[in-house]
Amino acid sequence: MESKVVLITGGSSGIGKSIGIFLSSKGYKVYGTTRSLGKYPDFDHFSLLELDVSVPESISEAIQKLLEKEGRLDVLINNAGIGITGPIEETPHEEIQKAFNTNFHGPIHMMKAVLPAMRQQHSGLIINITSIAGYMGLPYRGIYSATKGALELVTEAMRMETKDFGVHITNLAPGDFATNIASGRYHAPVEPKSPYKVPYGNTLKMINDHVNDGKDPICVAEAVFAIIRTDRPKIHYKVGAFMQKFSLFLKKILPDKQYEKLLLNHYKL
Ligand SMILES: NC(=O)c1ccc[n+]([C@@H]2O[C@H](COP(=O)([O-])OP(=O)(O)OC[C@H]3O[C@@H](n4cnc5c(N)ncnc54)[C@H](OP(=O)(O)O)[C@@H]3O)[C@@H](O)[C@H]2O)c1
């Protein structure tokens, strides 16, 4: 059988790059994306297309190019994403919109763009890379949590809407993985006169340390590979350190306020 064609948004770095390299090594025909091809002149791990998930025209152009070349698309991995931290009160609204444009509206635009081809093929798989942070409102990461939680819900809804098309849609929520996400993230500045100065400053350090100490993103690539080879993907998958996954179990069984207390203790707030 011909090798499956896979498109990964945000294939130039971190988790997306790791997934792309891994799937290429398994014989898949991989296309990744970047907002700027010029930034990666020596990238030779797999093919790169230029695409900005927050610009719908660039999505249509890239999908058209890919379909003209390959005639099909078997797997879309909605991976492109950005971080955002800060007290919500002090986070500029344009940054909140930017986070939603990239992490929430972007993946929806991508799904709209690939569904007609997948419906015609009567086959296809879409994996939305969300986050364990999307299952709870984390302090000073509430907007990030909201973008990822919203994408989880949209995935649940779209699965039911598209169930007769032969297309499968699923979520994969990673915990912390060591990537460049912190450097590309919007950080609301820790303002010297802010009432949030101490708790936000301390939490921000902790958030960055967690990402730097995170696991190798190859674990996410392995999880994606396993999902691709499953006939009937589940609705939700999680990949990450045991405690991060266990915290979701605790959220299910503990009273809300007790869970909140756990989070406050964890972040020393
Ligand atoms: N690292 C973690 O701990 C972690 C945990 C949970 C979830 N995640 C999620 O995993 C995904 C990948 O993150 P990462 O950690 O690998 O981060 P990363 O190393 O910063 O990579 C982000 C990728 O997204 C692309 N990107 C950013 N904005 C884009 C846009 N508007 N349009 C198209 N592409 C865009 C970047 O490509 P260019 O800059 O080349 O355009 C880059 O390839 C994100 O959705 C993130 O939220 C990460």
Average of pLDDT values for 122-134? Answer: 98
Q: What per-residue confidence (pLDDT) applies to 260?
A: 98
Q: What per-residue confidence (pLDDT) applies to 143?
A: 98
Residue 266 lies in a domain: no
User: How far apart are the CA of 53 and the centre of ligand 1, in A?
Assistant: 11
Report the alpha-carbon distance of residue 177 to residue 211 in Å, rounded.
Answer: 6
**How many domains in the chain?**
1
User: What residues make up the domain containing 226?
Assistant: 5-243
In the chain, % of residues over pLDDT 70: 100
Residue 73 lies in a domain: yes
Q: State which ligand 1 atom lies nearest to the alpha carbon of 176.
A: 3
Amino acid occupying residue 249: F
Residue 219 lies in a domain: yes
pLDDT higher than threshold 70 for residue 1? no
pLDDT higher than threshold 80 for residue 212? no
Q: State which ligand 1 atom lies nearest to the alpha carbon of 54.
A: 31
SS3 12: coil
pLDDT tens track for 237-249: 999 999 999 999 9
Amino acid occupying residue 32: G
- Ligand 1 pocket test, pick from 130, 152, 179 with the greatest ligand atom count within 8 Å of Cβ, gives 179
With contact defined as beta carbons under 8 Å apart, do 118 and 124 qualify?
Answer: yes
Report the alpha-carbon distance of residue 71 to residue 119 in Å, rounded.
Answer: 13
Average of pLDDT values for 18-26? Answer: 98
User: How far apart are the CA of 8 and the centre of ligand 1, in A?
Assistant: 11
Residue 77 lies in a domain: yes
Residue 76 sits in a domain whose CATH number is: 3.40.50.720
pLDDT tens track for 157-190: 999 999 999 999 999 999 999 888 888 899 999 9
Residue 264 lies in a domain: no
pLDDT higher than threshold 90 for residue 214? no
Q: State which ligand 1 atom lies nearest to the alpha carbon of 10.
A: 43
pLDDT higher than threshold 90 for residue 232? yes
pTM here is 0.97
Ligand 1, CB within 6 Å, residue ranges: 9-10, 12-16, 33-35, 51-54, 79-82, 102, 129, 131, 174, 176-177, 179-181, 184, 211, 214
Residue 263 lies in a domain: no
Residue 257 lies in a domain: no
Residue 22 lies in a domain: yes
User: How far apart are the CA of 258 and the centre of ligand 1, in A?
Assistant: 32
Active-site residue set:
144
User: How far apart are the CA of 58 and the centre of ligand 1, in A?
Assistant: 17
Q: What per-residue confidence (pLDDT) applies to 89?
A: 98
